Amino acid sequence: MTPEVLIVTRWIHFVAGITWIGLLYWFNLVNVRTMATIDATARPHVVTTLLPRALAWFRHSSWVTVLAGFILIYGLYWSSGDVFTTDSAKTIFSGMTLGVIMMLNVWGVIWPNQKRIIEATRTGGKPDPLWGRNALYGSRTNVALSFPMLFFMASSSHSPLSEQLIGVVFLVLFALGFAVVLTVQKWWAPRF
């Protein structure tokens, strides 16, 4: 793979990833509390106008990020036979695995439930509370997974981790991510 292809792919991966994770954080750190406090008569308008557009960018930036990531991992590691032979390859593979899980969560849990909510609201129906809960839990999981995923992505080229450290760092950063999202959505909610 040529250096030009790698740099363009890296740029696409970076921009799509910022879009995806930025929207993930916006949904969890801003939108969840806003929707809980917004006037009930305004909520259907927000659900049918803002959320479909934001969710379109969210879900499509997820697959673009993952696809570009696969191209990068192939070009930088797998094409030369470095699958699990170095700490850098192991670290990036850990980040990639989390990114794929997060993308599957977007398309398999978050989007289908949000789609049902949007459609029910659009047709004047009452969304099932379970749909919102499933989407919320899926989204919270992605926030928690994003903490170690982002760390692994950045550290693979700057300070790769040994196999033993990957598990420890995952657990610590997953717990931190989960604590952050719960703190903002539940415990600090009245202060915002």
The string of DSSP codes covering 128-185 is -HHHHHHHHHHHHHHHHHHHHHHHHHHHHHHS---HHHHHHHHHHHHHHHHHHHHIII
Side-chain half-sphere exposure of 59, counting CA atoms within 13 A: 18
Query: What pLDDT, in 10s, does the model give residues 60-96?
Result: 999 999 999 999 999 999 999 988 889 999 999 999 9
Q: How far is CA 161 from the centre of its chain?
A: 22
Task: List CB contacts of 110: < 8 A, sequence separation 6 or more.
Answer: 58, 59, 135, 138, 139, 142
Task: List CB contacts of 17: < 8 A, sequence separation 6 or more.
Answer: 61, 65, 153
Please count the other Cβ atoms lying within 10 Å of the Cβ belonging to residue 155: 20
Q: What is the pTM of this model?
A: 0.92
Q: Rounded CA gap, 152 and 94, in Å?
A: 7
Query: What pLDDT, in 10s, does the model give residues 119-140?
Result: 999 999 999 999 999 999 999 9
